[in-house]
Amino acid sequence: MSNSPLPLPVKLVIIEGILLYLFGFGFEMATKIYDPPNRGFFCNDLSIRLHKKESTVPLSWLLVFIYSCGFLPVTFVEAYRLLKYDPGRFYSQYERLRGKGMRLVIRIVIFVGWFHVAVISNWILTSTAKFSAGRPRPYYLEACKPNVDLQSCFNSPVYFDESTYNCTETNIRMIRESRLSFFSGHTSLATAAAVFAVLYIQARLVGKIASRIGPILLQVALLSAALFAGLSRIVDQQHHPEDVVVGMIVGMTVSVVVANFCARLFDEREEDQYDEKQPVICKPSSL
């Protein structure tokens, strides 16, 4: 065995990280080229006659929560394992012959990288659904201000298809946003972040710390925060209940798939022996 540590594939990690985000942002920009489909509505549909409210969980808070789910648990758990629980074991071949500080950085890159794969994959799926379905939000009629008499048909199931009405609202952006209800992006992203963090804690911390209830409480707190973010979208009249439910299902599914089949968090392995099945920085992916 060489007395020199393996060179770190820093360029590959950076390139793949940039490509991942470019793909996510590029896909988001591509969806903005075309408007979501303009769907018709029933005049007596009370679910789209509500008023728009300010978001209880603004986008800035959501982003703080998402990135905290990815970075903080990994940093503290891996620091604990390196300093106290199993400092002599290696998760990656690149850790050999390196100090604990660099080993911690390597592990953060691995686990946070996979976390970003889960979140951005979920982001892409969410954008695809929103711009494909074009479902009206609960405040759609308020945002659109259709050129039809909504009072005269309030008690009858009169249907206006997209060819029989036009929006009189001049704020095009508001109209566009009012057609992006399915499914909830806040919910799917918050759920994806929380579920990945919960699975990571289950795989890397549970059973390796004296407290048995501590990890459970942390997992419950993460899931509760994601649940709050999702349900707030119903209270704020930004989404229908089914939009939130589907967002939870999609976010959870994406994170479970990435955690189990990409990051392989629950694979049985002897961590102090290098195994070709281990997820390492550049194999099968640097992220």
Q: How far is residue 162's CA from residue 144's CA, in Å, rounded to a whole number? A: 12
Report which secondary-structure segment, H or E, holds 42.
strand 41-42
Q: What are phi and psi of 147, to 5 degrees?
A: -85, 55
Q: How far is residue 232's CA from residue 269's CA, in Å, rounded to a whole number? A: 41
Q: At what angle do helices 59-80 and 100-133 cross, to 10 degrees?
A: 150
Q: Which of 192, 33, 30 is nearest to 120 (CA)?
A: 192
| Residue 208 token pair | 């390796």
Report which secondary-structure segment, H or E, holds 71.
helix 59-80
pLDDT on residue 186 = 97
* Weakly modelled stretches of the chain, pLDDT under 70: 1-2, 269-287
pTM of the model: 0.90
Handedness of CA 144, 147, 149, 153 (dihedral sign): negative
| Residue 129 token pair | 């659904």
What is the Cα 233 distance to its own chain's centre? 15
* Contact call for residues 127 and 27 (beta carbons, < 8 A): yes
| Residue 73 token pair | 């648990």
Strand partners, 159: 42
Tell me how crowded residue 261 is: count the other CB atoms within 10 A of its CB: 9
Q: How far is residue 13's CA from residue 75's CA, in Å, rounded to a whole number? A: 18
67: helix, coil or strand?
A: helix
* Contact call for residues 36 and 179 (beta carbons, < 8 A): yes
pLDDT on residue 184 = 98
Any residues with CB less than 8 A from the CB of 125 and at least 6 apart, and which? Answer: 188, 250, 254
Q: Which of 197, 182, 160, 247 is nearest to 66 (CA)?
A: 197
207: phi > 0 → left, psi -120 to 50 → alpha, else beta; which? left
pLDDT on residue 2 = 61
